[in-house]
Structure 1
């Protein structure tokens, strides 16, 4: 029964990761609380599912043309964001091996409260593409996405939420297109993360394979829906609010 719950949870997390973010809050809870893995092994094992999730989502978005069917200038900008974020993630992966993540988790929960307020104030900013806004200056792009990459490489949980916020509110991307870039970034740096955690023998491959199956299917189906459904942006925005509220409740419980 525990493994069945883990599979269903991974399927749900795969959909949440693809459309909004923070699905790792579900999978890490399952790995640590339900299956009893130590925190470091749970962190490593979780990356296997995240990688499978990213592969499924990337394939579905690519098949729908959500990355290739863009103006050349936009494609160059998206690849620049991908590269900068992945370089930052390499630093974050290294930090995850030498630093305790307790302080980061404490900081993370207060960031979630701020993020919820940002989501609820002027929701139109999330739902209406602001294509008339100028692109971010290169130096700001480098700083923002390098820091996001460090966070994602270090702890992963919540990376999608913060990445979407920067993409939509600062870089002025439409929310589904922002999700496309997010999925590609996470997939690329997670390849390295899985290799490093495997080298450190911090992955339970049997459980990781089970979680990967669920997240692969969940990621693919959700990306396929998001790439074609006309109201996918609205659903992504609403799901993001629900995910953040749930994460805040979990982070501050017990009060």
Structure 2
């Protein structure tokens, strides 16, 4: 089989796995972003290309959550506004960084996110009182938190799902299903603004981006229909192993 076809098949499969993981929690970009870099794309272009898939994936997941009755537009838009502002700042930082610096930052971030994957701090916060509206100081704290979320998401994105889950659990006390429905909507909105920055700067490979988007959308649809139960531990082990290998390569620890 032609090596180019194998490459495209591999990108689609990686996108599907990433979309599934991102919808259920996060960490999908820990697979797709290093993969695009290892395929020879400059770091900024890999980062921008990955955003095409993220937009498609989160729009797909949002639509599916809405069909199932999990849709909170008022709260989502309130939190998306500061996230958009942060994402524009973060993505402008990302396009200006040299490849070597970005790769090393990504390697560190991957290890940090791996720690969140292992410890799953959000599971320890689920007994909080659930609220349906953000008011007063809680609203201010939430908007500040999502300005930071957008800044991080615009800059590197990888693992932002876990940060959002922990933030929303602390702020709203909602169930993980409701939180995931908010998460995918917010990420879809701020990723569109981040993607525009990468497009303006010419840091997008549309062919690989669209192929990755098809895979991510498939994974997002599957992930929003099924919750990981028995396979959760195995999936986390696979992610951890992949993160260790890819983070080490980004840091030049092995060929």
Is the alpha carbon distance of 1:248 and 1:205 closer, same or farther for their aligned partners in structure 2, counting shifts above 3 Å? closer
1:108-187 matches, cutoff 5 A: 108-109=109-110, 111-112=112-113, 115-116=116-117, 118-119=119-120, 123-126=123-126, 130-131=129-130, 137-187=138-188
Is the alpha carbon distance of 1:132 and 1:96 closer, same or farther for their aligned partners in structure 2, counting shifts above 3 Å? closer
Give the CA deviation at 1:153: 0.8
1:19-58 matches, cutoff 5 A: 19-33=24-38, 35-58=39-62
Is the alpha carbon distance of 1:180 and 1:248 closer, same or farther for their aligned partners in structure 2, counting shifts above 3 Å? same
Q: What's the CA shift string for 1:134-159, capped at 9, x where partnerless?
A: 96723321222211110001111111
Is the alpha carbon distance of 1:238 and 1:76 closer, same or farther for their aligned partners in structure 2, counting shifts above 3 Å? farther
Give the CA deviation at 1:132: 7.5
Alpha-carbon distance in 1 for matches of 2:210, 2:105: 28
Give the CA deviation at 1:131: 2.2
Which shifted more, 54-63 or 243-252?
243-252
Which shifted more, 83-92 or 109-118?
109-118
TM-score (norm 1): 0.79
Native 8 Å contact 1:161 1:240 kept in 2: no
Is the alpha carbon distance of 1:252 and 1:76 closer, same or farther for their aligned partners in structure 2, counting shifts above 3 Å? same
Say which SS state the counterpart of residue 16 (structure 2) adopts: helix
Alpha-carbon distance in 2 for matches of 1:91, 1:236: 37
1:9 counterpart = 2:9: no
Native 8 Å contact 1:9 1:26 kept in 2: yes
Native 8 Å contact 1:133 1:172 kept in 2: no
Native 8 Å contact 2:131 2:172 kept in 1: no
Partner of 1:67: 71
Is the alpha carbon distance of 1:76 and 1:236 closer, same or farther for their aligned partners in structure 2, counting shifts above 3 Å? farther
1:93 counterpart = 2:91: yes
Alpha-carbon distance in 1 for matches of 2:44, 2:234: 29
Give the CA deviation at 1:186: 1.1
Alpha-carbon distance in 1 for matches of 2:146, 2:235: 20
Unaligned runs of 5+ in 2: 1-5
Say which SS state the counterpart of residue 137 (structure 1) adopts: helix
Native 8 Å contact 2:90 2:150 kept in 1: yes
Task: Give me the CA root mean square deviation.
Answer: 3.1
Alpha-carbon distance in 2 for matches of 1:245, 1:143: 30
Is the alpha carbon distance of 1:116 and 1:61 closer, same or farther for their aligned partners in structure 2, counting shifts above 3 Å? closer
Unaligned runs of 5+ in 1: 69-74, 227-231
